[in-house]
Structure 1
Amino acid sequence: MAEYEADTEQLKRRIYLGLRQDNLDPQQVVALACELLDWFHRTDAVLEAVERNPAEVPRSEMTALAWRILDDVGFEPGFDLAPERLETLRDALRIIARDLPTRGIEGEPEIEVLEDWFPAGAGVRLADGERLNRGGHILPSMCDDPTMALTSLTTMIQESLLEQTWQVWPVCPRHDLGVHGSKREREVVWWCAGDDGRMLAPVGELAHALGRRRPK
Structure 2
Amino acid sequence: MTTSGNDPFHTWLAVLAGEPELGLDPAWLSDEALAWLRAVRDAHGEVAPPYVPELMLERRAAVAETALAALRAAAERDLGSPLDLRPEVEAECDYDTTGSVAVFGEQVRALGPEEAKVTVADAVQTFVAHVHRTVWPTCPDHRTGLHPELTERRAVWHCRAGGHDLPMP
Aligned counterparts of 1:159 and 1:107: Cα–Cα separation in 2: 12
Unaligned runs of 5+ in 2: 1-7, 24-51
- Residues 1:116 and 1:167: Cα distance change in structure 2 (over 3 Å): farther
The answer to whether the aligner puts 1:137 opposite 2:116 as a matched pair is no
**1:37-116 alignment runs, 5 A limit:** 66-67=15-16, 69-70=18-19, 73-76=20-23, 77-78=52-53, 80-82=54-56, 83-101=58-76, 102-106=78-82, 109-115=85-91
Match of 1:192 in 2: 159
Q: TM-score, normalised to structure 2's length? A: 0.58
Aligned counterparts of 2:60 and 2:139: Cα–Cα separation in 1: 32
1:86 Cα offset (Å)? 2.5
Aligned counterparts of 2:164 and 2:14: Cα–Cα separation in 1: 47
1:157 Cα offset (Å)? 1.7
1:150 Cα offset (Å)? 0.9
The answer to whether the aligner puts 1:121 opposite 2:97 as a matched pair is no
Greater relative contact order (Cα < 8 A, sep 6+): 2
- Residues 1:115 and 1:103: Cα distance change in structure 2 (over 3 Å): farther
Partner deviation per Cα, 1:103-125 (whole Å, 9 max, x = no partner)? 3342785433134653342234x
Aligned counterparts of 1:113 and 1:178: Cα–Cα separation in 2: 29
Q: Is the 8 A contact 1:99 1:203 kept in 2?
A: no
Match of 1:181 in 2: 148
Structure of higher CA gyration radius: 1
Q: TM-score, normalised to structure 1's length? A: 0.48
Q: Is the 8 A contact 2:102 2:108 kept in 1?
A: yes
CA RMSD of aligned residues (A): 3.2
1:147 Cα offset (Å)? 1.1
Match of 1:54 in 2: none
- Residues 1:88 and 1:65: Cα distance change in structure 2 (over 3 Å): closer
Aligned counterparts of 2:13 and 2:139: Cα–Cα separation in 1: 49
Where does structure 1 differ by over 4 angstroms across 4 or more consecutive aligned residues?
62-66
Q: Is the 8 A contact 1:169 1:178 kept in 2?
A: yes
Partner deviation per Cα, 1:1-28 (whole Å, 9 max, x = no partner)? xxxxxxxxxxxxxxxxxxxxxxxxxxxx
Identical amino acids, percent of aligned pairs:
20
Unaligned runs of 5+ in 1: 1-58, 125-132, 205-216
Q: Comparing 85-94 with 99-108, which one deviates more in the overlay?
A: 99-108
Q: Is the 8 A contact 1:137 1:156 kept in 2?
A: no
Q: For this pair of structures, how many residues does the alignment match?
A: 128
